[in-house]
Chains A and B, each alone.
Chain A
């Protein structure tokens, strides 16, 4: 798990799309995280040279198509989120695990808020509070990804010594 390959990036993104398409029914639906977005954030943090704003945009368009909403809403939200994520990407090395968690939380909230604003512009009504619940499950998902796919910041020099 040293250097992530392009295949692993697109593989996990495709898997996330699959999860997004999974026919979720029942009570658990409100807790369903934004799989695509979380995977995207993970790779933006870890390998910005493989997964950049363009990837985020394409992923957003795919999510737009899958949700059947007005095309471009998720694309715009993902692009903005990716920009913020990349803006702070160099500082991630300095972040503690808790700070990283908090940062992801903020990013996910930001995406949800952006989509909310866009949806309100296109004439939808304000949803109730469990619109924001996927943020929590999203943070948990990122923790899981860090556990299984490797840490985000590679402070390998310390470990090697």
Chain B
């Protein structure tokens, strides 16, 4: 009987099929359990951030190899860019430099005047953070998060929590550090919040990231003095973002009569998708270390910085 069945099967399939070992179902159960354990360990215990950093560091050469074709195309385009275009660009850049030089002259006098006045009032001197220029290498591989990866990492003394800006305004915050790159969470990410101030009337608020490349300012009364077109700047009370940087412009206000809060939506002024360079500002170190010494040498940058930003902002 058994022999007959065996013979019958042999004609149907190759014998290699039968030497399979453990059944697919038990394999599936085993590996599902393994991945659930991994998830739990990663979410709760933070042991794996070292492994992740090592992996990304080890991947650096592979990433460089993967980057070669696009780099080549970029260089190729640069090489063959038309003469006219370059002349035009040169002209506009010169004009801009000239305008900026004039503005800078005024800024210098204003700054000295400001420090002078502040010394009269006995106020704190404003901080001038130093900055590191970085290139955006790619826009992250996780479709669920609003991040960009920058080619500056722990080898370039980048720390988690540093603010990132471009020429137009605030982009976001460094949340994860790898040896040769770091992850910048954009202000439009759901996990990031930023303390802002309305430029017109100095009203303070906290803006939260929202999907669809916008920022949301919740918990403000429905009769709040905010108009469409108002500029939001950083208030600087969190100690991370220096005060006075442009963040967003208010684009939409929904006033629902049933709700005690206004729904204020704004679009960020910084343009992530338009260029490849950004500035990483240095953390104002002294105050930060005094306030929470245990958080400076933490292993998992993501959780600390995002959590850190929120309570700081609410004070």
> Please, how many angstroms separate the alpha-carbon atoms of A56 and B59 in the complex?
20
Q: Is A104 an interface residue (CB 8 A)?
A: no
Q: Which of A5-13, A64-72, A139-147 makes up part of the contact surface?
A: A64-72
Q: Is the CB of B211 within 8 A of A125?
A: yes
- For B9-27 the 0/1 string (1 means CB < 8 A from A) is 0000100110110001101
Within 8 A of A (CB), among B59-73: 59, 62-63, 65-67, 69-70
Q: Is the CB of A72 within 8 A of B66?
A: no
Q: Is the CB of A75 within 8 A of B31?
A: yes
> Please, how many angstroms separate the alpha-carbon atoms of A48 and B19 in the complex?
11
For A122, list chain B residues within 8 Å (CB). 43
- For A65-91 the 0/1 string (1 means CB < 8 A from B) is 111111111011001101100110010
For B56, list chain A residues within 8 Å (CB). 65, 68
Q: Which of B28, B56, B143, B147 has the most CB of A within 10 A?
A: B143
Known: A21-B59, A68-B142, A119-B144. A57 touches B183 (CB 8 A): no
Q: Is A111 an interface residue (CB 8 A)?
A: no
Q: Is the CB of A24 within 8 A of B32?
A: no
For B138, list chain A residues within 8 Å (CB). 23-25
Residues of A contacting B: mostly: helix
> Please, how many angstroms separate the alpha-carbon atoms of A119 and B190 in the complex?
13
For B310, list chain A residues within 8 Å (CB). none
**Contact among A25, A57, A71 for B139, CB-based, below 8 A:** A25
Closest residue on chain B to residue A75 by CB atoms: B35
Q: Is A148 an interface residue (CB 8 A)?
A: no
Q: Is the CB of B35 within 8 A of A70?
A: no
**Contact among B16, B41, B42, B65 for A49, CB-based, below 8 A:** B16
Q: Is A98 an interface residue (CB 8 A)?
A: no
For B141, list chain A residues within 8 Å (CB). 20-21, 66-68
Further contacts, 17 of them, CB under 8 A, given A20-B141, A68-B52:
A18-B66, A21-B59, A21-B62, A21-B63, A25-B136, A25-B139, A49-B16, A49-B19, A53-B31, A57-B34, A61-B38, A65-B52, A71-B39, A71-B48, A72-B39, A73-B39, A90-B17
Nearest first, the 6 A-B pairs at minimum CB distance are A72-B38, A23-B138, A72-B39, A76-B35, A83-B28, A75-B35
